[in-house]
Structure 1
Amino acid sequence: MTTLAPWPYPRWIAHRGAGKLAPENTLAAFRLGAAHGYRMFECDAKLSADGVPFLMHDATLARTTNGGQGVGGELPWHALSQFDAGSWHSRVFAGEPLCTLEHAARFCRANGYLLNIEIKPTPGTERQTGEVVAQHAARLWHGAAIAPLLTSFQVEALESAAAAQPELPRGLLLDALRDGWLATAQRLGCAAIVCNHALWDIGTVAGAKAAGLRTLSYTVNDDGAAQRLIDLGTDGIITDRVDLFTPS
C-alpha cells in the first residue's frame, strides 16, 4: 500500500481569488476570498512580452480588461499595467489593475495564505512560461514553509517547470482521463492530479492514491458535488462559490 506524503494545503481553494464575486486574478479577488475565510487561492499565470509573470486566464485581453482585442503575452508589462482589469466585472472594482505574480506572492506571504499557480501559457510559449514561472515562484517563496503548487494542462510547461525548479510541487490538470494519465503525472514527478470533479469516482481516486498522487477537483459550485468529493476522500476542492462553502 502506497503511503502518501503529507499534504500541506487546505481542502478548500478559492478559484481565481474569489470565484465570480470579484474580477478574477486580481488582488481585489484575493482580498475578497480571504474575507470569506479562504486561506488558499488558485490563479492563472502567463508571461508578458518582456518576461514578467502576470495573472490572467485568457490569451486575449478583451474579456477581463479594457485592453481591446490584443493578446496579453504580446505586450510588455508596462503597457499591461495601464489596463483596467476591474470595470468589466462591476463599477465597484473600476480601476483595479492586472496583478503580477510578485504582487500575488507578497500578498500571500504577508498574510500566511497559500497559492495554486496554474501555468497558463500564451499558445506557443509553453516551455518558456513553465520555466520562468517556476524560477520566479522559487525566488518569491524562498524560505517559505509551504511552497506554491504549480499546475498546468500543458505537459511541456510542467516539464520545463520541473527542470527549472524540481523541488516545487506540481500537479497535472486534466479535463478528461486520457490513456496513460497516471503514467504521465508520475513521469512529470507530480504530487497531484487536478481534474474536472465529475471524473473522480471510487476507482479513479483509488488509482491516483495507489500511484502516490493527491486528488484535487475543479470547479465545484454546489453542495452535492462537494459532498460527493469529500465522501470519496479527495484532497482539494477548487470553487467559485466562496460565499456558499465555509472553508475548513
Structure 2
Amino acid sequence: MTAPWPYPLWIAHRGAGKLAPENTLAAFRVGAGHGYRAFECDVKLSADGVPFLLHDTTLQRTTDGHGVAGQQPWSELSRLDAGSWHSRAYAGEPIARFDAVARYCLRNGFALNIEIKPSPGTEDETGRAVAREAARLWADAAMLPLLSSFQPAVIAAARAAAPQLPRALLFEGLRDGWLDEARALDCVAVVVDHPSLDAALIAHVHAAGMRALTYTVNDPAPAHALLAAGIDGIVTDAVDRFSPGSAVQG
C-alpha cells in the first residue's frame, strides 16, 4: 500500500527551462505563470560549499563562464550571466542559489523535486550537503522536497544526512535489479525516462509500495498513455502546452 502522495502530477522541468533560462528564478516564475505548482531543478556545490542550481558539470552552455562549475567559489559564480545564452530578454539573469529557490517555493506553496547533481568526485559530499541544507530550509514545512539522483551513492549520502526527507532514484533505461536498488535506499519513488515505462512497470512499482514518476514528456501521445497507466508524476519542458490543472491538450 503506497503512502499518500503530496506532490502535484505535473512538474516543470528546470523551472520552465525552455521558455526561460533553465534552473534560474526567472524560469520558476515563468512556470508559475503557466499554473505550475511543482518544479524540478538541479543542485550542485560551489568550491566553497554553497549549493546552487546548474545542470551541467561545466559552465559554458548556460552561462558566460567556463570550466568546471564546482571548482569555482560562489563569489565568482554569482557574477556570471546565466540568461543571455537563452535570449536577450534574460540578459544578466544570475545563477540561482539553492536557498533563494527554496524560499521562493516555500513562500508560494510550491513543491520541489531536487535532483542532486554532483561535480565529478564530490558525490558523497554533495549528497550530504544538499540534503542537510534542504532539511534546514524545509524544517517547518508541511510538504517536504523530494530528493533525487541517478547515482545510488548520492542518495545513500543524502539518506544518511537527512533520513526524514523523501528520496527517489532516477533511471535512464532499466538495469537489472533497478527496483531493488530503490527499495534498498528506502526510496518513496522512482523517476524513469518515459520510453522505458509502460502500464505493467508502473503497476510493478506501485506493488512495491513506491510511486512512479517520468521525464521528460513533451508530447500529448505519451502523456495520454502514461496518465491512463496510472503515472504519479510527469516532468515536462512543455509548460505552455500542458495545463497542470486540466486534461492533456493536443
The TM tier, using the shorter chain, reads over 0.9
String of CA shifts for 1:151-210, please: whole Å, max 9, x gaps: 000111100000000010000000011000010000001000001011111221111111
Question: Are 1:173 and 2:154 matched, yes or no?
Answer: no
Name stretches of at least 5 consecutive residues in structure 1 with no aligned partner. none
Alignment-derived partner of residue 101 in structure 2: 104
Pick from 118, 126, 131 the counterpart of residue 128 of structure 2: 131
Which SS does the other structure have where 1:99 is aligned?
coil
Task: Please give the alpha-carbon distance, in whole angstroms, between the structure 2 residues aligned to 1:160 and 1:143.
Answer: 22
Alignment-derived partner of residue 11 in structure 1: 9
Name stretches of at least 5 consecutive residues in structure 2 with no aligned partner. 246-250
Alignment-derived partner of residue 60 in structure 2: 62
Alignment-derived partner of residue 42 in structure 1: 40
Which SS does the other structure have where 1:117 is aligned?
strand
Task: Please give the alpha-carbon distance, in whole angstroms, between the structure 2 residues aligned to 1:110 and 1:205.
Answer: 33
Kindly indicate whether the alpha-carbon contact (under 8 Å) linking 1:170 and 1:192 is maintained by their aligned counterparts in 2.
yes
Alignment-derived partner of residue 83 in structure 1: 80
Tell me the amino acid that sits aligned with residue 213 of structure 1: M
Alignment-derived partner of residue 212 in structure 2: 215
Which SS does the other structure have where 1:238 is aligned?
strand
Which SS does the other structure have where 1:14 is aligned?
strand
Task: Please give the alpha-carbon distance, in whole angstroms, between the structure 2 residues aligned to 1:206 and 1:32.
Answer: 34
Tell me the amino acid that sits aligned with residue 226 of structure 2: L
Runs of 4+ in 1 over 3 A off after TM superposition: none
Superposed displacement of residue 110, structure 1: 1.0
Count, aligned residues: 245
Alignment-derived partner of residue 227 in structure 2: 230
String of CA shifts for 1:120-179, please: whole Å, max 9, x gaps: 010111111000000000001111000000000011110000000001000000001100
Alignment-derived partner of residue 201 in structure 1: 198
Superposed displacement of residue 228, structure 1: 0.6
String of CA shifts for 1:35-65, please: whole Å, max 9, x gaps: 0000010000000000000000000000000
Aligned-residue identity in percent: 62
Kindly indicate whether the alpha-carbon contact (under 8 Å) linking 1:19 and 1:241 is maintained by their aligned counterparts in 2.
no
Pick from 153, 157, 160 the counterpart of residue 160 of structure 1: 157
Which SS does the other structure have where 2:159 is aligned?
helix
Task: Please give the alpha-carbon distance, in whole angstroms, between the structure 1 residues aligned to 2:37 and 2:200.
Answer: 30
Task: Please give the alpha-carbon distance, in whole angstroms, between the structure 2 residues aligned to 1:226 and 1:123.
Answer: 33
Kindly indicate whether the alpha-carbon contact (under 8 Å) linking 2:47 and 2:73 is maintained by their aligned counterparts in 1.
yes
String of CA shifts for 1:83-120, please: whole Å, max 9, x gaps: 00000000000000000110000111111111100000
Pick from 7, 25, 28 the counterpart of residue 27 of structure 1: 25
Give me the CA root mean square deviation: 0.6
Kindly indicate whether the alpha-carbon contact (under 8 Å) linking 1:19 and 1:242 is maintained by their aligned counterparts in 2.
no
Superposed displacement of residue 216, structure 1: 0.3
Task: Please give the alpha-carbon distance, in whole angstroms, between the structure 2 residues aligned to 1:67 and 1:218.
Answer: 28
Superposed displacement of residue 19, structure 1: 2.9
Task: Please give the alpha-carbon distance, in whole angstroms, between the structure 2 residues aligned to 1:98 and 1:71.
Answer: 14
Kindly indicate whether the alpha-carbon contact (under 8 Å) linking 2:35 and 2:244 is maintained by their aligned counterparts in 1.
yes
Question: Are 1:121 and 2:124 matched, yes or no?
Answer: no
Question: Are 1:142 and 2:130 matched, yes or no?
Answer: no
Which SS does the other structure have where 2:218 is aligned?
coil
Alignment-derived partner of residue 248 in structure 2: none
Which SS does the other structure have where 1:66 is aligned?
coil
Tell me the amino acid that sits aligned with residue 160 of structure 2: A
Tell me the amino acid that sits aligned with residue 5 of structure 1: A
Kindly indicate whether the alpha-carbon contact (under 8 Å) linking 2:46 and 2:52 is maintained by their aligned counterparts in 1.
yes
